[in-house]
Amino acid sequence: MPERTPGARVLGAIAAGLLVGVLAAPGALAQTDEVPVDPEDQPEQHPPGSWDGSSFDEPFHEDDVTLRRASVDVSGTLRYRKTGPADFIDEVEVRVVDDPGDGHTPGEACPLPAPATIEGDGPRPGWDAEQRFEVLDVVLPCNGRYLVQAEGSLEDPDAPAHTMERSFVVAVLPESVTGLDVALDRQARSVTVTFQPLDPADVAPDAIGYVLERRGPAGGAFDDVAATGLDGEPRFVDPLTDAPAGGYTYRVRSVRGGADGEVRSSIIHTESATVSVEGDPTTATSAPTTTARRAGAIGGSGGRRPAVTRP
C-alpha cells in the first residue's frame, strides 16, 4: 500500500473534523430542512370555555335547508375548550322544536319527535372535550319550519349548558291525484272534471284538499280555477260560456300546508286532459267567468267562492 503524503494526511484530518462537527449538531441540519409554517394554516384556537368548534353534519351544516322528506338523521359534534384537564361533556340532548318565528304552528295532528339523549364518553386527554352524537330517523309528519337543537352539558352541574341550533324547513309534496276524467258538454258549453281522491293512508296530517287548474288556448301557465276540501265531492263543473274557442287542459293537484304557504303535488306525476271547445262564446268577453279561490283557503273561512258548480 503506497504511503500517504503529508498533504493528504492534513486534508483527511480537516474532513474528519468537519464530519464530527455536523454530527454533533443535528439541530443545525434539521433547521436547513424545515419548511416555514404559515400562521393562517394553523388550526383555529378557541379560548377556554368556548363551544365554538361545535357543528352539525349535513344536511344541517347551514341554516334554512329545505327537506323534501319526512324523516331525517341528525348528527354532529360538540366541542368544548376545557378550562381544566378534567372537563368532559357528560351528555348531549338532541331535539326538534317548532320555529316560533315563522307564524306557522303545526296542528294537534303534527306531533314533534321526542328528545333523544346521548351519554358522554367520559374524560379524555387533550384540551378539547369532544362528543359525537347521532339520532336516526327523526320523523316530522307535517310540513313547517323547525329548529334542530343539540344541547351539551358538562360533568360539572354548576357549569352552564350550551345549545347549538339550526333552522330548517320541511316541505314534503303530497301524493298525486289519479283517475282524472274530463268531459265536455258541448250544448251547455261546460266541462265536468272528476278524479279519484287520495287513499286515506296517503293523506298527510296537514293535508288541505284539492285544487283544479286550467290552461287555456293561449298556452302558458296553469291558472287556479277552483278548490275543494278533503271531504268535498271529487267533481268540478267549469262553465265556459264566456270562454273563447280552443283547447282547455285540466289537472287536479292535492294540497298540503306549509311554512311558506301551500305545498302542491308534483306536476311531473300529475295527470292532465284536454278538451276542445268550438264556436263563439255566448257573450263578448274573452275569458272564462270562473273565479279561482286560493287553495290555501280550502275548508277555511273567508275568500271568494269559485263560480264552479258541483251538481
Model-wide pTM > 0.75: no
Q: Is the pLDDT of residue 15 over 90?
A: no
Task: For the beta carbon of residue 126, count every other beta carbon within 10 angstroms.
Answer: 8
What's the pLDDT tens digit per position in 167-204?
Answer: 999 999 999 999 999 999 999 999 999 999 999 999 99
Q: Which residues pair with 170 in a beta bridge?
A: 67, 144
- 129 grid coordinates: 372535550
How sure is the predictor about 23, in pLDDT bands with cuts at 50, 70 and 90?
very low
Check: CB of residue 310 under 8 Å from CB of residue 233.
yes
pLDDT digits over 252-304, tens only? Answer: 999 999 998 899 999 999 999 999 999 888 653 444 434 333 333 454 333 32
Helix-helix angle 26-33:6-24, to 10 degrees = 70
Domains of the chain: 55-170 (2.60.40), 178-297 (2.60.40.10)
